[in-house]
Amino acid sequence: MILFNEKIVELLNEYFSKNDEYVESVLLATYGFNIQFVNFNIQCNERVFASIEGNTYTWEDAPNSGPWGALGRQLAKKAEMKSSSILRISFENGDSIEIETVEGQYESVIFNFPPQGEAFVMEIF
């Protein structure tokens, strides 16, 4: 849909600074990559790159043999934009993930945050 902006970086960093946002689970499927943190989750439909224990892995439209489970229980520390199409989340142990978005008619990345009152809170890129 749209490219990343500073608003999503600020929102993620607000969550990371207020709470211990651990990775609770990672779901790999042919239709998407989903990473669940304590208070929110991110659904990715484009590529996801990971640096895990010094090695680089890519998820791209299908499960693969990367050690994605190693992200479990990792504590997120910082979000930053590498470019308008790549958002990086760094973890306390030095690992990181980079999430890609593209401009187009379909959603590339959906951030699902806790409801506020009766309203669902989502950011869609």
Domain spans in the chain, listed from the N-terminal domain onward:
6-124
Q: How far apart are CA 93 and CA 102, in angstroms?
A: 29
The helix (run of H) or strand (run of E) holding residue 18 is: helix 6-18
* 1-21 pLDDT per residue, tens: 799 999 999 999 999 999 999
Q: Is 0.75 surpassed by the pTM of this model?
A: yes
Q: How far apart are CA 13 and CA 37, in angstroms?
A: 13
pLDDT value at residue 54? 96
* 28-55 pLDDT per residue, tens: 988 899 999 999 999 999 999 999 999 9
With a CB cutoff of 8 Å and minimum separation 6, the contacts of 94 are none
